[in-house]
Amino acid sequence: MMRMLVTDTWELTGQERDWLLEQGIEVEICRDDAPYEGDASRFELVACKFLFSYTPIERFTNLKYIQLYMAGFDHVPMDYIREHGIEFHNARDVYSIPIAEFAIGGVLALYKKFRDFDREQRTRQWNVRRYLGELYGKQVLIAGAGSIGAAFARRFRGFDCHVTGLARTAGERDGFDRVYAMDRLDSCLKDADILVLALPSNQETYHIINERRLALMKPEAVLVNICRGAVVDEPALVDALQSGRLAGAVLDAFETEPLPQQSPLWDMENVIVTPHTSYGAENNHRRIIEVMNRNLLSSPILGLR
């Protein structure tokens, strides 16, 4: 019998725990946002989000397998995992649909002036607007052509947008009209009506959108950040938005979270601020369980087949 430490980010149902037990896996539940105080050496498997931010991975001396409940893994000690031959899986594809829906909804809210209409509804005002923005025909640039970027691409193309992707290497990818290498970022920014950031957080992407690159963008452009706050130079973004050099932004990720109360982003009419919640959705539990079960059954290390 193997033992699996599962954090309380996801509440396993009795049926799901029974299935794991049938595979020879005994489950223990612990908090995801606190150090694990028990004997970590008892576990061969871990399923978590932020456990290793609170509990050193070195304590899990018999660890063979990690399932992360999120797509990003910049907070996970990947060097240690590789050195010790630990099988690692993130939650690729689990959150792509809700994140893409959420952020496109934010862009539409800006284009269609929903904030103004909401305010006017509450004060019973009837102000007709005849020149609201459209997604139709817009040039969309998606920096990051992975599973989340591809989910954006497919949906933007459903609105008859022209979608360009940026990735480590150029080539054809599902959903995109074209995909260039990241070294084309500057030239692509000049044509973009909507810039979507779907990048990992690392040394290469830190402040990749900075004052110089914001100055390359159209004044009527909208920036969408649903990945990590560190990919954007926040003070430079604030300045561009306040000065009118950028039309708007949909922001679900920030350099400091929660977003500090004194941030000017809170009060900007051309900015939608949400608390890093674009991934939240009704079907996430089903998707993550499907991914976890599929990964467990196909694991060459565990040999459950």
Active site residues: 228, 257, 276
Cα 23 to Cα 18, 202, 267, 290, 301, distances in angstroms = 9, 37, 52, 15, 14
Identify the CA nearest to 6 among candidates 288, 276, 298, 302.
Answer: 288
CB count within 10 Å of CB 280 equals: 13
Query: Which residues on adjacent β-strands are paired with residue 7?
Result: 30
Quick check: 226 and 276 in contact, CB under 8 A?
no
Q: In what order do the strands lie in the sheet with 25-30?
A: 25-30, 2-7, 45-48, 65-68, 87-89
For residues 268 and 263, give the distance between their C-alpha atoms in angstroms, rounded to a whole number: 10
CA 173 to chain centre: 19
∠ CA 189-74-228, nearest 5°, is: 40
Residue 300 in tokens: 């060459």
CB count within 10 Å of CB 82 equals: 10
For residues 62 and 4, give the distance between their C-alpha atoms in angstroms, rounded to a whole number: 11
Quick check: 100 and 140 in contact, CB under 8 A?
no
